[in-house]
Structure 1
Amino acid sequence: MSSDTLHFAIQAQSHPLAYLTGVLTKIVNRHPSRDINQLLPWAYRAQALKAVA
């Protein structure tokens, strides 16, 4: 992961440590590569908001 990815996570109002932990956990658990866009900070934030609602 680059510092740009963390910067986007911060801009998307995600906690960077929570974002990295969640993304790395999904990768370790074999998240499908065809759904890699779900792991981008802005998509990850949208998924988290849906889960809360």
Structure 2
Amino acid sequence: MSLSHEVHCQHAAEWTATKLRWDLAADPAEQDALLQLAAACPGTTVTYEAAP
């Protein structure tokens, strides 16, 4: 896996975690893009803690 791919996967995980943490909505286009990124990054884990 290239560094560029790893960075893409990490960014997608951080973006997803931010959306989940703050219970932010994603429109259908954003959701599709995030799902495609997730499929391309099977070894990436999203971790987050819900905002207070």
TM-score over 0.5 for the pair: no
What TM-score do the two structures reach when normalised by structure 1? 0.32
What TM-score do the two structures reach when normalised by structure 2? 0.33
Task: Name the structure with the higher helix share.
Answer: 1
Q: Which entry has the higher C-alpha Rg, 1 or 2?
A: 2
**More relative contact order, 1 or 2 (CA 8 Å, 6+ apart):** 2
